[in-house]
Amino acid sequence: MAGRRGALIVLEGVDRAGKTTQGRRLVAALCAAGHRAELLRFPERSTEIGKLLSSYLAKKTELEDHSVHLLFSANRWEQVPLIKAKLSQGVTLVVDRYAFSGVAFTSAKELQLVDAATRGEFGHERYENGTFQERALLCFQQLMSDKTLNWKVVDASKSIEDVHEEIRALSEDVILCAAQRPLGELWK
């Protein structure tokens, strides 16, 4: 409906949870259902800051932990004008990671937990190992205790199709709710 704002739908989770696959599927399904929906991802690797992050993640460069954290944050801030413009134009944004990944992955560096058993194949980027992901998961769980945010937990171990259907149905509800609420602020 004209004049309605779009919803900000953030997909968060550990690496290999299927966020990118689901984000693409979700945008396609929402568009097919007549919504205006677009996909964003963080880190957005195409910008100058994004290139620094990409090279850090690929272990090609070393960066001090605090400054990396701030670069991830800056990488979100550089998209904020676009995000706000799209949402107020009525475009629903599906975002593959946002500030919660920023908190979870930085916090995971500071957590001293017993090493978890080695997991199946991860990629070769920094942070892509079972121990680190376990810590990030704990951090995500702590972040979800903030009930002012509309968290929905989806069991990513189900089939791509089942996960998609669950996220699609949840998103339809969120789009309706968002249309009735003014745009708020979310930390970046």
Q: Can you give the binding site for Mg ion, defined by CB under 5 A? A: 15
For residue 32, the minimal CB distance to Mg ion (Å) is 27
Nearer residue to ligand NYM within complex by CB, 25 or 97: 97
Give me the count of residues in the chain. Answer: 188
* 8 A C-beta contact, residue 43 and residue 54: yes
* Shortest Å, Cβ 134 to Mg ion: 15
The binding site for ligand NYM (CB under 6 A) comprises 15, 42-43, 57, 72, 97, 101-102, 105, 125, 127
User: If you compute the radius of gyration of the chain from its CA atoms, what whole number of angstroms results?
Assistant: 17
CB-CB contact of 11 with 22 (8 Å) = yes
* CA-closest candidate to residue 102, choices 79, 80, 76: 76
Please give the DSSP secondary-structure letter assigned to residue 49. Answer: H
Looking at beta carbons only, is 5 or 133 nearer to ligand NYM?
A: 133
* Binding partner at 57 among ligand NYM, Mg ion, none, C-beta below 5 to 8 Å by kind: ligand NYM
- The 3-state DSSP class for residue 127 equals coil
**Binding partner of residue 43 among ligand NYM, Mg ion, none, CB under 5 to 8 Å per kind?**
ligand NYM
Q: Which is nearer to ligand NYM, 106 or 171 (CB)?
A: 106
